[in-house]
Amino acid sequence: MDRRLVLAAALGLAAAAALPARAQEVAKIGLILPMTGPFASTGKQIEAAVKLFQARNGDTAGGRKVQVILKDDGGTADVTKRLAQELIVNDKVVAIAGFGLTPLALAAAPLATQAKVPAIVMAAATSTVTEASPFVVRTSFTLAQVTVPMAEWAARDGIRKVVTLVSDYGPGIDAEKAFTEVFTKAGGTVENLRVPLRNPDFSPFLQRAADAKPDAVFVFTPSGVGAQFMKQFVERGLDKGGIRLISTGDVVDDDILNDMGDAALGVVSTHHYSAAHDSAENKAFVEAFRKAAGFRPNFMAVGGWDGMQALYAGLDATKGQGGQALVDAIKGTTWTSPRGLLTIDGATRDVVQSVYVRKVERKDGELWNVEFGSSPAVKDPVKAAKAP
């Protein structure tokens, strides 16, 4: 037989033999979260959701076994960047994910671009995060997205004078700007206050808010900080002074809501997820999550759950490919989440979802954010304003 034919046959057999091996090749996902430090609640929620997703959906997608590698960045951007680089270079991950705060997501974005590795943002909520890299996809929310419905509701409910009190970093500034713009257009007046992100003391800012005698205080704090705010709100007597408290859902976070006690009753907020959301999908999610993790899921958990949903859908569509193919496969994807119908915008790679108006109520001995209104298919308003 011609030696060339023998060689070709041998190569063909080698390629055929490699196919099962390729099918079993591991698709590694680097999950970078603040598991320690002041924002550890975000990490524990997302980690629990990722574990639950794989327990219920299996560990295979696109013909590849999916392995999640968890790394703790402690909420420090320099550490996030180092971990992302190690995961990309040493572990050869198909995607990086997590990112509990905006600075952490922004630290990893240039590496995602350089290596052409998708970065799935499960938490960080500043509008500009998805503009930092064409490989960033968000499954959480943006602060502007959930704030505009609150400003609209406040104006409709007869509130005329508001003091905004936000944590002084990207999401808080987005929330302040979005609320102020919408509320003033509706005829209201606003005074803006910003509180340091690290080691916040709300007391002096709450005193300034009380002195302004507004109808309401609109508040944004990161997940996990709301209990401290609520305690100081009560200590300063604002709850007894006829000043209403309105907020984004971060403040009345499901993870810590029961610890706030009666002071939280009646607080109205707008957000994309409540553990009390009335759907079959959410009831099953909450029941399974509480059984597996031992605590109630919050909006960070659903961001992690849907981040895995996006990755599995993308890997299935590309038969296990990563890179640009994976990002392209995720864009435009729609599914029913525990939070409701969710779509990844094909143009912005940001999440399109319903935003709900909720009030804290006590039911069966627990506090819940009970929904009483909604705005469907809300896009990030910051990007929507830029669209031609």
The residue count of the chain comes to 388
The DSSP H or E segment spanning 9 is helix 3-23
Residue 13 has pLDDT above 80, yes or no: no
Kindly report the CATH class assigned to 144-271+355-386.
alpha beta
State the Cα–Cα distance between residues 200 and 228, nearest whole angstrom: 9
Tell me the CATH architecture of domain 11-141+279-349.
Answer: 3-Layer(aba) Sandwich (3.40)
State the Cα–Cα distance between residues 214 and 84, nearest whole angstrom: 45
Q: What spatial distance separates the first Cα and last Cα of the chain, rounded to whole Å?
A: 66
State the Cα–Cα distance between residues 343 and 274, nearest whole angstrom: 18
Parse the chain into domains and list their residue ranges: 11-141+279-349, 144-271+355-386
Task: Estimate the share of the chain in helix, then strand, then coil, as percent rounded to the nearest 5.
Answer: 45, 25, 30
Please write the tens of the pLDDT for every residue from 312-325.
999 999 999 999 99
What beta strand segments (E) does 102-199 contain?
119-121, 136-138, 161-167, 189-195
- The radius of gyration of the chain from alpha carbons, rounded to an integer in Å, stands at 23
What beta strand segments (E) does 116-188 contain?
119-121, 136-138, 161-167
Quick one: average pLDDT of 46-63? 97
What is the pTM (predicted TM-score) of this model?
Answer: 0.90
Please write the tens of the pLDDT for every residue from 118-161.
999 999 999 999 999 999 999 999 999 999 999 999 999 999 99
State the Cα–Cα distance between residues 37 and 41, nearest whole angstrom: 9
Among the residue ranges 23-27, 87-91, 185-189, 333-337, the one predicted with the least confidence is 23-27
Which residue do the tokens 């295979």 mark? 60
Residue 239 has pLDDT above 90, yes or no: no
Give the Cα-Cα-Cα angle 127, 198, 226 (nearest 5 degrees): 75
Percent of the chain with pLDDT over 70: 94
Domains 11-141+279-349 and 144-271+355-386 agree in fold: yes
